Amino acid sequence: MVCFLYLKLFPTGSPVNSLVTFLYKFLTSVFYLKSQILFQYR
């Protein structure tokens, strides 16, 4: 339901959508690096 409202408000290709995609990729890479560092020093 939230995704549907989001798509209605921000159609694909809008700057907001690309910003959200960038933030998602950034956060996933940060979490990946964190897990890698924790794994090394365990």
pLDDT at 2: 62
Confidence (pTM) = 0.49
pLDDT tens digits, one per residue of 2-41: 666 666 665 666 677 778 888 888 999 999 988 888 888 7
**Boundaries of domain holding 29:** 2-40
Instruction: Please state, in angstroms and rounded to a whole number, the distance separating the CA atoms of residues 20 and 2.
Output: 15
Query: Would the pLDDT of 1 be above 60?
Result: no
Phi, psi of 14, rounded to the nearest 5 degrees: -75, 155
**Domains in the chain: how many in total?**
1
- Which residue is associated with the tokens 């956060």? 27
The candidate with the shortest Cα–Cα distance to 27, out of 15, 37, 35, 38, is 35
Give percent helix, percent strand, percent coil of the chain, each to the nearest 5: 80, 0, 20
